[in-house]
Amino acid sequence: MIWRNQDIRARVLLVAIVPTIVLGFLLTAILTFSRLHDLEEALQQRGQALARQLAAASEFGLFAGNREMLSQLANSALSRSDLQGVSIFDSNHNLLAVAGLQAHASDPRLPYQSITQLGNNLLRIAEPVAATTAADESPYALSDGEPLPDKPAALGEIVLLISLDRLDNRKQSQVLAAAGTLLLVLAITAALAAWMSQSVSRPIHKIAKSVADIGRGRLDTQVPIEGGGSLRQLAEGLNEMTQRLQRSRESLEQQVAIATAELRERKEEAEHANLAKSRFLAAASHDLRQPMHALGLFIADLANKDHNCETRQLIERISASAEAMENLLDSLLDISKLDAGVVTANPHPFALGPLFERIAEEYQHDAADKGLTLRVVPTRYWIDSDPMLFERILMNLVTNALRYTTRGAVMVTARKRGSQIHIEVRDSGIGIPSEAQDSVFQEFVQLHNPARDRSKGLGLGLAIVRRLVALLGHSIDLRSQTGRGAVFSIAVEAARPQENQISEHRAISNLVGLVVAIVDDDTLAMESLAGLLRAWGCYVVSGESMAALIEALNDNEVVPQVLISDFRLPGPHNGLEVIANLRQRYGPALPGLLLSGDTGPEVIRRATELGIPLLHKPVRPAKLRAAVVHVFNPEHELVQGSGTG
């Protein structure tokens, strides 16, 4: 409604003016109509009085039949401004005298009307002329006192015609005067109402403006106090409220500042602690990786020799223990590299078929050892992702499924849904309750391993999966019920098959005769690495520094085909600089491979920027062989072991 949409000033104006307008119109109309009626009555009364005077004056003339006397009487009466005609009739309605406009005598057949309006501008007034009844009362008695003969009751009739123009002019003047008076009253009322509304609305507008400023956060705003009563109480209440809000905000700001300072202090402490932890882990990792690296290579070299059953069984147990330690170090390394943001994805279309074949080949033996069936459904789908990182995701999911499945089967399949390929790993294991399905992707979470049994893993596999899926921009879904297995599904965009693309099947190249140069200041690690490479048929030249290696190469008169260098070396050069210097000497195409026990993000970042593959110690023999094959022949994909390494 319009009334509800108006502000307070308009409402005050309406409340003040509307009743005044209504009352003014009513009073003006009543007074004007009353005044106009009075004017009409005054004119009629004046005309009747004149008619009576003429009737009295014309009595003798009518009695005597003196037309000249009656004519003079009519003409003398016509001198009045609004009198338009005078007519004198005898008792028989015969016209005896007329002055001005002639009127008609009254019709005896009709009811007698003394006042009649003719048209719009004439008023007819009739007055009978009555005879005097007593002789002593008659002014026309004979001289000797004898009365005149009896006269009839009515000697005649006087008819006057009075103009209404003057009355109409007076009425119009009266209406104009009333209208002017009404307009004047309304103007005064409007001015008074405007002044009153202004006096009422001005403090309210100021209060509203102050409230708006307070709403914008200007709590120092003070409402001006004007007038008295409720408005004064409202202004004072708002000022008190703003003062309390100001004090509350100042107190809150102080608390926030204190909390922020405490949070900043704790953050700095956490950063210092994290930095100290990283330094400790880096140093400890480097010191642990060196002997672990040598241990693994020695075990691999030892396993290639002939032994009796008891010795081979002992070697297998030693190898299993070393592999468990390597798994722990590799998982921690993968987590640190993903958190450091140094792992970069290189997505491109590739076929899922070869990847599924490798999964089936690698995990078939593990499934058979547990009495499980591993079914990898062949597929011809292509996806758009990073092959190495996606293979690590799939390997971790299959490993997790085999670990927590005691009977039944594990199945790997790919299904197309719209524009996406859903790669699923299904198992018939113990399942995951709904309330724990989010937590299984966190680090070191193992729902069914409270004793931390090493054979059940470390609780890092799914945490790595979650990070890799986020890095690749894919999505992962988990569906599971307790006791009914689990389904991990990864949604990846489908890709068109690429023609003439290099096959991703692993081809284990023959390394016999390959000249490999090694730089490592750790004698134990260098000897174990050289022994393993020689067992593979490689021709190995080694040195504890770049100068020693160059000297050994010159003594043997060979040119290296692959260079393997440790990162930390004595002297001014590190492993990256050694590779760069030897490439200047033997050509920029010299394949280089960097080994390091340092897990710091800076080393990873520098190696990634230079495009030099980096393997962290300890290195599994299979992973080392695949890396040598990859750097020597880039057509072979590096898929062994950790894809992030």
Is the pLDDT at 19 greater than 80? The verdict is no
For residues 485 and 429, give the distance between their C-alpha atoms in angstroms, rounded to a whole number: 4
State how far the alpha carbon of 50 is from the alpha carbons of 80, 139, 225, in Å.
Answer: 10, 21, 73
Q: Is 297 exposed, middle or buried (0-12, 13-18, 19+ CB in 10 A)?
A: buried
- Which one has a higher pLDDT value, 334 or 444? 334
For residues 176 and 639, give the distance between their C-alpha atoms in angstroms, rounded to a whole number: 109
The arithmetic mean of pLDDT across residues 425-452, rounded, is 64
Predicted confidence at residue 440, as pLDDT, reads: 67
Q: Which residue(s) pair with 540 in the sheet? A: 516
Give the start-to-end residue ranges of the domains of the chain. 2-139+147-171, 344-493
Is the pLDDT at 628 greater than 70? The verdict is yes
Predicted confidence at residue 235, as pLDDT, reads: 72
For residues 47 and 173, give the distance between their C-alpha atoms in angstroms, rounded to a whole number: 22
- Which one has a higher pLDDT value, 510 or 448? 510
Is the pLDDT at 14 greater than 90? The verdict is no
Q: Which of 266-280, 356-370, 487-501 has the lowest mean pLDDT?
A: 266-280
Predicted confidence at residue 288, as pLDDT, reads: 63
Is the pLDDT at 125 greater than 80? The verdict is yes
Beta-carbon contacts of residue 46 (< 8 Å; ≥ 6 apart): none
Distance of CA 435 to the CA centre of its chain: 32
Tokens 């003047």 locate to 173
Predicted confidence at residue 558, as pLDDT, reads: 87
For residues 124 and 118, give the distance between their C-alpha atoms in angstroms, rounded to a whole number: 7
The model's confidence at residue 502, banded by pLDDT at 50, 70 and 90, is very low
Beta-carbon contacts of residue 171 (< 8 Å; ≥ 6 apart): 36, 39
Tokens 């140094």 locate to 342
Predicted confidence at residue 412, as pLDDT, reads: 92
Is the pLDDT at 25 greater than 60? The verdict is yes
Give the E-state strand segments of 503-588 in sequence order: 515-519, 539-543, 562-566
The arithmetic mean of pLDDT across residues 236-248, rounded, is 77
Q: Which residue(s) pair with 414 in the sheet? A: 423
Rounded to the nearest 10 degrees, how much is the dihedral formed by the CA atoms of 485, 437, 277, 574? Answer: 60
Predicted confidence at residue 600, as pLDDT, reads: 65
Single out the residue of 636, 383, 338 nearest to residue 511, CA to CA. 636
Predicted confidence at residue 414, as pLDDT, reads: 92
- SS3 label, residue 569: coil
Predicted confidence at residue 134, as pLDDT, reads: 44
Tokens 């800076």 locate to 602
Q: Are 516 and 560 in contact (CB under 8 A)?
A: yes
The model's confidence at residue 569, banded by pLDDT at 50, 70 and 90, is confident
Predicted confidence at residue 518, as pLDDT, reads: 92
Tokens 């003070």 locate to 222
The arithmetic mean of pLDDT across residues 195-220, rounded, is 71
The arithmetic mean of pLDDT across residues 248-257, rounded, is 84
374: alpha, beta or left? (left if phi > 0; alpha if psi -120 to 50)? beta
Predicted confidence at residue 148, as pLDDT, reads: 47
Tokens 């009709």 locate to 110
The arithmetic mean of pLDDT across residues 580-608, rounded, is 82
Fold equal for 2-139+147-171 and 344-493 = no
Is the pLDDT at 63 greater than 90? The verdict is no
CATH architecture classification, 2-139+147-171: 2-Layer Sandwich (3.30)
Give the E-state strand segments of 368-463 in sequence order: 373-376, 382-385, 409-417, 420-427
Instruction: Please state the pTM of the whole predicted model.
Output: 0.42
State how far the alpha carbon of 7 is from the alpha carbons of 21, 412, 523, 524, in Å.
Answer: 21, 72, 93, 92
Sign of CA dihedral 603, 332, 462, 507: positive
C-beta atoms surrounding 479 within 10 Å: 15
Q: Topology of domain 344-493, per CATH?
A: Heat Shock Protein 90 (3.30.565)
The arithmetic mean of pLDDT across residues 12-28, rounded, is 75
For residues 527 and 540, give the distance between their C-alpha atoms in angstroms, rounded to a whole number: 10
The arithmetic mean of pLDDT across residues 468-493, rounded, is 85
The model's confidence at residue 422, banded by pLDDT at 50, 70 and 90, is very high
Q: One-letter amino acid identity for 465?
A: V
Q: Are 489 and 417 in contact (CB under 8 A)?
A: no
Give the single-character DSSP code of 515.
E
Q: One-letter amino acid identity for 501?
A: Q
| DSSP states along 76-126 | HHTTSTTEEEEEEEETT--EEEEEES--PPPPTTS---SEEEETTTEEEEE
Is the pLDDT at 4 greater than 90? The verdict is no
Instruction: Give alpha helix (H) positions in 160-228.
Output: 165-215
Rounded to the nearest 10 degrees, how much is the dihedral formed by the CA atoms of 235, 240, 245, 248? Answer: 180
255: alpha, beta or left? (left if phi > 0; alpha if psi -120 to 50)? alpha
Q: What is the mean pLDDT of the chain?
A: 76
- SS3 label, residue 414: strand
Q: Which residue(s) pair with 480 in the sheet? A: 486
Identity of the highest mean pLDDT range in 187-196, 200-209, 459-468, 515-524: 515-524
Q: What percent of the chain has pLDDT over 90?
A: 4
Q: Which residue(s) pair with 516 in the sheet? A: 540, 562
Strands 83-90 and 154-163: antiparallel
Single out the residue of 561, 556, 626 nearest to residue 590, CA to CA. 561
State how far the alpha carbon of 10 is from the alpha carbons of 5, 14, 544, in Å.
Answer: 10, 6, 97
Instruction: Give alpha helix (H) positions in 216-308.
Output: 229-303
For residues 397 and 452, give the distance between their C-alpha atoms in angstroms, rounded to a whole number: 20
State how far the alpha carbon of 98 is from the alpha carbons of 56, 124, 158, 413, in Å.
Answer: 17, 14, 10, 133
For residues 265 and 426, give the distance between their C-alpha atoms in angstroms, rounded to a whole number: 47
The model's confidence at residue 2, banded by pLDDT at 50, 70 and 90, is very low
Single out the residue of 589, 588, 424, 397 nearest to residue 491, CA to CA. 424
Q: Which of 136-140, 226-230, 531-535 has the lowest mean pLDDT?
A: 136-140
Q: What is the pLDDT of residues 399-418, one digit of tens each?
A: 888 888 888 889 999 999 88
Is the pLDDT at 10 greater than 70? The verdict is no
Q: Are 551 and 543 in contact (CB under 8 A)?
A: yes
- Which one has a higher pLDDT value, 627 or 17? 627
Residue 388 in tokens = 């190495």
Identity of the highest mean pLDDT range in 313-322, 334-343, 413-422: 413-422
